[in-house]
Chain A
Amino acid sequence: MNSAPGTTTAGHGGDFDPRQAADLLDQATRRARRQFAPLSPLLFTFRAVVVLVVFGGFWLSVRGQHPYTGHISGWAIAVAVVLVAINIGWTAWVVERAGSGVSGPAQRKWQAWKGIMVVAWIIGYGTTAPLYHAGVSHPVWGLYPASAPLLIIGLAGAAVAAVFRYWPLAGTCLAIVVTAVAAGFGGPAGSWLITGIGLCAVYLGFAAFTAWRQRRSMVRP
């Protein structure tokens, strides 16, 4: 690399010209952003595939049912269990790596966010138990799991993210809520497909946005 006359730093580890400095600054910043990010673009891309495969599989299981029974094939459940388990493991690893050695107010907010979201997930899907106990009809039983938990989880996530001023995350959670509302109009079978496609689009959008934020240069436009 050519150095501009007078633009190197004598005595500072040899020639370190502004271009090298800009490259190093961007490289170090991107690496740190990736490692500190609990919301990895790659993970969200994987989640986009997961929701498409899992909810699409559920839709394939129930779409031909006349009358609708809500019975989901064993293979679809097996695929869902495997993919969700991988997702949970990967998420735990990313979150652990992002928070390792980090302390401070933002870290505490993130811990609070995680706790609230775990509670929202439990409430969202836990409510299926009393519904089952109450013996609700098959269409209700089919419609609820595909959309209602996402409403609860999405609203909780959006509210907490807004309080903490994590605006991209708040927007993503609101998009999940919109997806859940739209899925409700798809009927017991169609709701699975709408949820799968909608969540896939939301996750891909968030992954693209996060990747852009992580890769943008500190120096160059």
Chain B
Amino acid sequence: MTTELDPLIHVPTRLKIVATLAALPDGDALSFTRLQDMLGLTPGNLIVQLRKLEDAGYIGSTKTRNGSAQKTTVALTGKGRAALGAYTQALRDLLGGLDRDGRPAEADRDHVAFRAGTADAPGAQDGDGAAASPGHGGIGHPSGQAIR
């Protein structure tokens, strides 16, 4: 059994973001401010994490303007739902292969591998709240000011 945890999701803040968005019905979107409120994150931190997820195609964002106010909504994409499904399955497989002390069971000990933390994985080098990935144009501050 080879168990891989997607490093893009296997970060506490991003895991909470993806889990929260996945609780919405497929196709529904959540406003940036509600998401921020639910997760208790600062706007800057949330933007950084959302941008990483958007770079990977896990979430999509839409900006709408109503007069001077701009509203940003984010939604989990099909790819994001599939990634969370695979991540959840990997967790199930992994926890099924752990003994009571949390160590890999004997049979699985040599086969447990994680993509998390490997250099080639997207976003693997970035920690929670790390700087934004360059070259992205999606998520901006809800006030309308683009954050890069």
Contacts and interface: CB of A to CB of B under 8 A. Distances in A.
Contact of A2 (B34, B102, B128): B102
A10 B27 CA distance: 34
B24 A12 contact: no
Contact of B98 (A4, A16, A106): A4
Contacts, number: 132
Interface in A1-44: 1-7, 9-13, 16-19, 21-22, 24-25, 28-29, 31-33, 35-36
Given A17-B102, A18-B94, A102 B24 contact: yes
Contacts of A218: 19, 88
Contacts of B23: 29, 32-33, 36
Interface string B34-52: 1101100000000000000
B5 A106 contact: no
Given A2-B101, A16-B10, A104-B75, A32 B27 contact: no
Chain B contact surface mostly: mixed
Contacts of A19: 95, 98, 102
Contacts of A133: none
A9 B98 contact: no
Interface string B117-144: 1000000110110000000000000000
B117 A29 contact: no
Nearest to B88: A218
A156 to B, nearest CB: 22
Most B-side CB within 10 Å, residue of A18, A100, A102: A18
A13 B98 contact: no
Contact of B34 (A3, A5, A25, A102): A102
Nearest to B105: A4
Contacts of B114: 6-7, 9
A107 interface: yes
A19 B92 CA distance: 10
B4 to A, nearest CB: 11
A17 B11 CA distance: 10
B83 interface: no
Contact of A25 (B91, B94, B101, B113): B91
A13 B128 contact: yes
A7 to B, nearest CB: 6
A42 to B, nearest CB: 18
11 contacts: A6-B114, A7-B94, A24-B15, A28-B19, A32-B24, A35-B38, A101-B34, A103-B29, A106-B26, A106-B28, A218-B88
